[in-house]
Chain A
Amino acid sequence: MNRLIKILAQALQAVVALKLRTFFCVLSIAIGISAITIIVAATEGAYQKAFDIVASFGPDSILIVSGSEESRGIARREKTLTLADAEAIRSAFATAYMVVPMSRVRDTIISYKANRYSAPIIGSTSDYSLSWTWPVVEGSDFTQEDLKRLANVALLGHETMRELFGDENPVGKTIQVGRIPVQVVGVLLERGSSQGGGNMDNRVVMPITTVMKKFQNEPKYVQALRVRFEDQENLDIRVEELKGFLRVRHRLPDSEPNDFQIVSPKDIIKFLVALTGSLVAFVGIVGIISLVVAGFVLANLFHLSVRERTGEIGIRRSVGAKRRDILLQFLGEALIITTLGGLIGFVLGVAAAGLLQYVEAFPIHFSWKAFAIGLLLSWLVGVLFGLKPASQAADLEPIEAIRS
């Protein structure tokens, strides 16, 4: 043990003395490790973000969207879901404790006194806050009564509230939504911008009946239904049941695709992870390539170093160093260098990730995992590429080494 420490101290001394070799090896490894660090952090960030979103979306909830999967991405989806569908689901599924229809009107001008702001209007039932687990921080949610009488009332997203009212208390005030005067009854908690989901704090939420009648002139159809189930563990089964149920209700023949789409928490996770996936793949390939290159840089510089230092190896062997001692010293030098490269690479990775987040909000999460994986990989490179030159050094015969 004592001997090992002494040999590693010798290795450290050589690492410090042979600055140019150390510099180039550390640099090349740091580049590779920084890429790896970003990948690990981005993957972790994506998963964490996905779970965060699912948690706020509600892990027991699904979203049924009007229109077939093929029509996805087309600006105006055909509308196929009705308020009657919502009622039918509520009565047919015993564990569906909440069925909320929703409609959305794209950017509408909203004004209060001289302040104007453009925001989407979301039509919902009185359970909006509850169904989205989105607390009302000021005032209150609108009521069943408001829905019945098509009341002109609204919940404001935090940003909309700030834009229109500044520091003023908005509850009870009347704003103009399009041409219609609407009374503000409450303000939703600030959510912050969502990853991939755009701004969530600019919405104006109103009774769906009001939105359908007064904004959309729509007697029947809604855009989406949100359903929450008590038996979260059976969510996959419930999704399948719902598909069958809606196909029957919409009288779709077997040849027709679904005229609706069901988004479950699983789909959200899949989507976000896939979104990050392309970046992970790209940076991953870059990272692996640069680590391999770093490995070859290390192997070559060490090979040169061993040749330059045959005299040193010779004198160490003649004063009693065993082959093992020489091997350990050179391997130790490689490991010290790669560890250093790994540490610097991690710091570079953190810095680069910060820059990446500055340029575009990207979910990145640093944990001991990114650090540990980076360090392990740098050791792997050290051992893998340091072993050959080190054993070359160890295999030098003492008489060969001192003859040089």
Chain B
Amino acid sequence: MNPLCLMEDVRKTFRMGENSVEVLKGIDLTVERGEIAAIMGVSGSGKSTLMNLIGCLDVPTSGRYLFAGREVLGLADDSLSELRNANIGFVFQSFYLLPYATVLENVLLPSLYRERAKDGAEERAVELLRLIGLEERIHFRPNRLSGGEQQRVAICRALMNDPELLLADEPTGQLDSRTASEIMNLLVAMNERGKTVIIVTHDPAIAAYANRIIRIKDGVIVDEQAD
């Protein structure tokens, strides 16, 4: 089976007015299915840009990026949307729950944009929330939940379309350490259930949950180590 993510000499250049800044300077990276990996780096190292590329939120300037065997470079915007919708679940530092929608509606969000609508979306969302222990709150609005609960809802949302990859960007950045470890344990549990998980963080304690740490510095991968 081919790897889930395969990057070869991926470069990303941003144009800032007259100048252009090369943020990623030749990344070679392979992420196998079923892995749980952490991408570590200080801010400005290019780790967020790398995450955006892995998550198909953006495309490389040059190089090759195969996601599940499919070339991402050159895909149209709509195809990227479809790819994200079907294959990637995002968890962000600031949760990004819709404030005016209920917990259930937030979890259902990815199902709205599915190419072929499936029956039983609501049952699945309720089931996910039940697994995570929030079934009592499905009709609450996010502002009535604690940070940890909000992030758990966000994880449910990420899992809604049953993606292959869970991509978490500083998922515990706004949480206290006890809640952070709950969230991390949840991500590990999802990995054990077969999801490929990539965590982007600057925090070694968080990176320690992964069984592989990819360090990035000044736009290049400086160290890859597996536990």
A and B interact physically: yes
Give the chain A neighbours of B99 by CB distance below 8 A.
17
Q: In the complex, are the beta carbons of A13 and B100 less than 8 A apart? A: yes
Whether, in the assembled complex, A193 has its beta carbon less than 8 Å from a beta carbon of chain B, the answer is no
Verify B90–A318 contact, CB threshold 8 A: yes
Q: Which of B77, B113, B117 contacts A319 (CB 8 A)?
A: B113
Assembled-state Cα–Cα distance A13/B100 (Å): 8
* B112 in contact with A6 (CB, 8 Å): yes
User: B57: which A residues are within 8 A, CB to CB?
Assistant: 317-318, 398-399, 402
Question: What residue in chain A is nearest B83 (Cβ atoms)?
Answer: A320
Q: Is the CB of B98 within 8 A of A321?
A: no
Q: Is residue A314 contacting chain B, with contact meaning CB distance below 8 A?
A: yes
Contact of B58 among A13, A18, A321, A397 (CB under 8 A): A397
Complex Cα spacing A322 to B98, Å: 18
Contact indicator A3/B117 (Cβ below 8 Å)? yes
Q: Which residues of A contact B52 (CB under 8 A)?
A: 399
Residue-by-residue, is A361-404 near B (CB-CB < 8 Å gives 1, otherwise 0)?
Answer: 00000000000000000000000000000000000011100100
B94 pairs with A319, CB closer than 8 A: no
- Proximity string of chain B (106-120) to chain A, C-beta cutoff 8 Å, 1 when within and 0 when not: 000110111001000
**Cβ–Cβ < 8 Å partners of B58 in chain A:** 397-399
A225 within 8 A of B: no
Give every chain B residue within 8 A of A311 (Cβ-Cβ).
94, 96
Q: Judge whether B117 and A320 touch: CB under 8 Å.
A: no
Residue A241 lies at the interface, judged by CB distance under 8 Å to chain B:
no
A315 to B150 Cα, complex, angstroms: 14
CA distance A312 to B165 in the complex (A): 22
CA distance A322 to B81 in the complex (A): 6
The answer to whether A320 touches B110, judged by C-beta atoms less than 8 angstroms apart, is yes
Task: Verify if A49 is at the interface (C-beta below 8 Å from B).
Answer: no
Asked whether, in the complex, the Cβ of B100 is within 8 Å of the Cβ of A322, the reply is: no
A314 and B86 alpha carbons, distance in the complex (Å) = 17
> Whole-angstrom distance between the alpha carbons of A6 and B122 in the complex?
13
Interface size for chain A: under 10, 10 to 19, 20 to 34, or 35 or more residues? 20 to 34
Which of A2, A319, A325 has the most chain B CB atoms inside 10 A of its CB? A319
Residue of A with least CB distance to B105: A13
Q: Which residues of A contact B82 (CB under 8 A)?
A: 320, 322
B101 close to A (CB within 8 Å):
yes
Q: Does A203 contact B (CB under 8 A)?
A: no
**Contact indicator B81/A321 (Cβ below 8 Å):** yes
| Distance A18 CA – B86 CA, assembled complex (angstroms) | 30
Q: Give chain B residues whose Cβ lies under 8 Å from the Cβ of A227.
A: none
Cα separation A6 to B109 with both chains bound (whole Å): 10
Judge if A316 is at the interface, Cβ distance under 8 Å: yes
**Complex-state Cα separation, A18 to B99, whole angstroms:** 10
Chain B residues positioned under 8 Å from A398 (CB to CB)? 57-58
Name B132-182 residues within 8 Å CB distance of A.
157, 160-161
Q: Which positions 1-55 of chain A face chain B at CB distance < 8 Å?
A: 2-3, 6-7, 10, 13-14, 16-18
Is the beta-carbon distance between B112 and A18 smaller than 8 angstroms? no
Q: Find out whether the CB atom of B114 lies under 8 angstroms from the CB atom of A315.
A: no
Also in contact, A317 and B81, with CB within 8 A (given A7-B112, A397-B58, A399-B58)? yes
Interface hits, A319-333 → B, CB 8 Å: 319-325
- Chain B residues with CB under 8 A of A317: 57, 81
Tell whether, in the assembled complex, residue B77 and residue A2 are in contact, meaning their CB atoms are under 8 Å apart. Answer: no
**Would you call B209 an interface residue if the criterion is a C-beta within 8 Å of the partner chain's C-beta atoms?**
no
Q: B78 to A316, Cβ gap below 8 A?
A: no
Min Cβ gap A9→B in Å is 9
CB nearest to A314 among chain B residues: B96
CB of A387 to closest CB in B, whole Å: 19
Q: List 19 A-B residue pairs with CB atoms under 8 Å apart, sorted by A's residue number.
A: A2-B117, A3-B113, A6-B112, A17-B99, A17-B100, A311-B94, A314-B96, A315-B90, A315-B98, A317-B57, A318-B84, A319-B109, A320-B81, A320-B85, A322-B77, A323-B77, A323-B81, A398-B57, A399-B52
20 additional A-B residue pairs with CB within 8 Å, beyond A18-B100, A315-B109, A318-B55: A3-B117, A17-B100, A316-B109, A318-B57, A319-B84, A319-B90, A319-B109, A319-B160, A320-B81, A320-B84, A320-B85, A320-B114, A320-B161, A321-B113, A322-B77, A322-B78, A323-B77, A323-B81, A398-B58, A402-B92
